[in-house]
Amino acid sequence: MIIDVQVNAHRYVALHQGFAHAFEFLGRPDLQELPADTYEIDGKRVYAMVAKETGRKREDALLEAHERYIDIQLVLAGTDTMGWRAK
Query: For the chain, what are the domain ranges?
Result: 1-80
- Tell me how far CA of residue 82 lies from CA of 5, 14, 30, 63, in angstroms: 14, 24, 25, 10
Given the DSSP bridges, would you call strands 37-42 and 46-50 parallel, antiparallel or unpaired?
antiparallel
Write the pLDDT tens digit of every residue in 2-49.
889 999 999 999 999 999 999 999 999 999 999 999 999 999 899 999
Q: Are 77 and 32 in contact (CB under 8 A)?
A: yes
pTM check: above 0.85:
no
**Residue 13: what pLDDT?**
96
